[in-house]
Amino acid sequence: MKKIWLIIATLMIFIFTPPAYSQVEEAAIEACIAVRSRTADKDITLAELRLQCQKITHSAIGRRVAFEKAALSNPFSVLPHKPNYVLPITYFNANEQPYVNRPQRYKLDDLEAKFQFSVKYIAAEDFLTKGLDLEIAFTTTSWWQSYNSKISSPFRETNYEPELILSYKKNWSFIGAKVAYSSFSFSHQSNGQTGELSRSWNRIAGKVAFVHNDFIWNLRAWWRLPEKDKNNLGDPDGDDNPNIERYMGYAELGAIWRLPDRHNVDLLLRNNLRSNNKGSIKLGWSFPFSKHLRWYVEYFSGYGESLIYFDQNTSRIGFGVKLTDWL
């Protein structure tokens, strides 16, 4: 553990000077102007467009939406969905329980790499009504025993999640609170394994996000689509993890704090709200490394960091780089 903190401290020395936060705001305004000018009345002035866009990009969510809308006209652009990051150094309490019945017994290292790749495609803008977009998204998260040469450095676990999303990006009120973003989605999540290592579930989820100055919080709740029971563990049909809701629950609460100098702190809490309490916490801290990259520190503790560990309590801390952030 001492070696990990030494590596983290060394890497932090090489932080570059980030662009001023005002530059990000100005870039969002310019992106908004570029989009709105395509359909604006010919008599509108640039000053009027700028005033409109200043209101639209006032919040962090508004700035992300402005950048996404501007990118849609570029046939070579790919939009990020969830954060994209690489954590070449993570330390966790390696739990070999899910692998005990494999012929080739795993001897896991506590040190491994983790990375996530997440993209989306806006299939239809203003779908059915103004502000409602139809999106297709795909996220893959991998845990790689990259330093475990004794077992040929395998990818220990990879989770795949395709989603179909209806996202509403206009403000509306809910019990007096202003909702800045909302969505309704269908997702399938699987680890691509077979037999006793197979894990998967299908969910229908709703999400709302609220903004208060530089503090953003969101609530996401889901309903799992039921599956029939397996006749035996080796049966390819049926529920791979019938008790997953007892550990992953039915909702999660997230928050993002935008701090000075473009530092972001994000928090994700999950709980099954049962007397036999199970839950998890994920805490992330990102800060500028270069114009487009960010250093990223992530801590997780609890159930369900990955599907293979949905019913196992694990803890992990990792350090690396974010290619794209939430906001």
Nearest 5°: phi and psi at 78? -125, 130
Residue 89 lies in a domain: yes
Inter-CA distances, 17 with 104, 236, 262, 264, 289, Å: 48, 53, 11, 16, 7
Q: What is the mean pLDDT of residues 34-46?
A: 85
Question: Model confidence over 135-169: pLDDT tens digits?
Answer: 999 999 999 999 999 889 999 999 999 999 999 99
Domain count of the chain?
Answer: 1
Domain containing residue 106: CATH number: 2.40.230.10
Question: What is the three-state SS of 242-302?
Answer: CCCHHHHCCEEEEEEEEEHHHEEEEEEEEECCCCCCCEEEEEEEEEECCCCCEEEEEEEEE
Work out the average pLDDT over 294-312. 96
**Of 87, 120, 79, residue with least CA distance to 294:** 87
- Structural domain containing residue 199: 79-324
- Supply the pLDDT for residue 252: 97
Q: Is residue 228 part of a domain?
A: yes
Angstrom distance (rounded) from CA 67 to CA 29: 9
For 239-257, what is each residue's pLDDT tens digit? 989 999 999 999 999 999 9
The answer to whether residue 62 sits within a structural domain is no
Residue 9: per-residue pLDDT: 47
pLDDT tens column, 103-113: 666 689 999 99
Residue 28 falls inside a structural domain = no
**Could you give phi then psi for residue 59, rounded to 5 degrees?**
-100, 160
- Cα 173 to its chain centre, rounded Å, is 25
For residue 44, being part of any structural domain is answered with: no
- pLDDT at position 103 is 60
Lowest mean pLDDT among 22-26, 91-95, 136-140, 232-236: 232-236
Q: Is residue 319 part of a domain?
A: yes
